[in-house]
A and B are shown apart, each in its own frame.
Chain A
Amino acid sequence: MKRTERPDVARVLIADDDPIVRQAVRSVLEVSGGFQVVGEAEDGKMAAELVGQTRPDILLLDLLMPNLPGLEALRAITTAGAEVRTILLCSSISAKQVLEALQLGARGVVLKKRVAELLPALDAVMRGQYWIESRSVSNVVQIVEQLGAANLQPAQSQSRFGLTARETEIVSFITQGYMNRDIAKSLSITEETVKRHLTNIFNKVGMSNRLELALFAIEHALVRK
């Protein structure tokens, strides 16, 4: 199924060590319709196993759990290649953790105290969008900007990773959410040239998509706001 296709009933796996939270989430989903809870996991290890067994559309994942913390469970799930959209459902989360979660493939974050936002978040994520800071976001690079990621501590290394001035310029556009045609227009070059530059950039920094590249650029201070 493509990420933007929304099944009539979305299958959800709830992973939280607190049975009260699991019950509350289950109740919210059940009264709302359109969702089927296919399993509950009480720790990170169990969450990773159940994703493989139940193949849910959505995983609601707590951060602090026994056995395997949420982000490590997410890493295991991503590494295993599971096609599940993960939303972190947690008490609190730092911008750095949000970025790490996005890098690991998470599609959204909902704070437990805003559990009423769970339904719009699930809908947004099922439509292929992201849900961060209480709203739906279609462009992940916007999220990075919103989170003020550029204010995070950049890595000490000032290495440019062999990028040319033009390539660095293109990376800067990527972190601002520009599409290829917009970059081409801004630099008065063709879209094909932009694509060629991007291929070279991906090869040099070892990233495979725009999100990874944007996060990498910010983390390594390759671009300035």
Chain B
Amino acid sequence: MTRNEEKVRAALEKVWLNSRPEALSRLATLEGFLEALRSGRTNEECLGTALSAAHRLSGSLGMFGLSEASSCAAEIEALLCQGSVPDITVMAGLVRRLRNLIEETHVPTRTQEKCDS
């Protein structure tokens, strides 16, 4: 890895650390949509919000090297784009998987950050 590539990687890691709460908030939006789906309370607005969350997760997670999570979010986006009511079981599986993938991402502690710098 060149010095420039290292700098880019470090910059992206820093942005990811700051953005992780927002990513989790978007995930919560998807989980909220799933709950609404289960209770039959979905509407156009709710679907639009979920679609936007899935789309943004798909794009941003890929930038931070979370390619599997990005693909998972893209699958959710595709499911929501179908036009018909998404399959609850499939949706639930994808959302659960996405949470696992985001949560298992390495978050350096302050000590580690100091060691790395």
Q: Is the CB of B4 within 8 A of A21?
A: no
Interface size range on A against B: 20 to 34
A32 to B6, CA, bound (A): 10
Q: Among B12, B14, B18, B58, point to the contact of A115 (Cβ < 8 A).
A: B12
Are B59 and A112 in contact, with the CB atoms below 8 A? yes
> Which chain A residues in 172-202 approach chain B with CB under 8 Å?
none
Given A113-B70, A116-B8, do A27 and B60 touch, yes or no (CB 8 Å)? no
Majority SS of interface residues in chain B?
helix
**Do A32 and B8 have beta carbons less than 8 Å apart?**
yes
Asked whether B116 is an interface residue with its Cβ less than 8 Å from the other chain, the reply is no
* A24: interface (CB < 8 Å): yes
* B70 cross-chain contacts in A, Cβ below 8 A: 91, 113
Minimum CB–CB distance from A32 to chain B (whole Å) comes to: 6
B74 touches A112 (CB 8 A): no
Q: Evaluate contact between B15 and A32: CB separation under 8 angstroms.
A: no
Tell yes or no: B19 within 8 A of A by CB. Answer: yes
- Pair B56/A113 contact, Cβ less than 8 Å: no
Q: Indicate if A163 sits at the interface (CB-CB under 8 A).
A: no
The docked-state distance in angstroms from the alpha carbon of A113 to that of B14 is 17
Distance A47 CA – B18 CA, assembled complex (angstroms): 25
Could you tell me the distance in whole angstroms from the C-beta of B11 to the nearest C-beta in chain A? 4
Find chain B residues with CB under 8 A from A37 CB: none
Q: Chain A residue with minimal CB distance to B23? A: A20
Q: Is the interface of A mostly helix, strand, loop or mixed?
A: helix
Contacting residues, chain A, for B23 (C-beta < 8 A):
20
Q: Which of B63-90 contact A (CB under 8 A)?
A: 63-64, 67, 70, 74
Whether A119 and B4, one on each chain, are in contact in the complex, defined by CB atoms closer than 8 angstroms, is yes
Smallest CB–CB gap between A94 and chain B, Å? 14
The residue that A27 contacts in the complex, of B4, B14, B58, B67, with Cβ under 8 A, is B14
Q: Are A20 and B19 within 8 A (Cβ)?
A: yes
Assess whether A23 is interfacial by the CB under 8 Å rule: yes
Whether the Cβ atoms of B62 and A112 lie closer than 8 Å is yes
Q: Which residues on the A side are within 8 Å of B11 (C-beta)? A: 27-28, 30-31
**Chain B residue contacts of A18, Cβ below 8 A:** 56, 59-60
| List of 8 A-B pairs having minimum Cβ-Cβ separation, nearest first | A113-B62, A27-B11, A91-B59, A20-B60, A20-B19, A31-B11, A31-B7, A18-B56
Cross-chain pairs A/B with CB under 8 angstroms, 19 sampled: A20-B19, A20-B22, A20-B56, A21-B56, A21-B60, A21-B63, A23-B19, A24-B19, A31-B8, A31-B11, A32-B8, A90-B59, A91-B55, A91-B58, A111-B62, A112-B59, A113-B67, A119-B4, A119-B8
A residues near B (Cβ < 8 Å) are 16-18, 20-21, 23-24, 27-28, 30-32, 62, 64, 90-92, 111-113, 115-116, 119
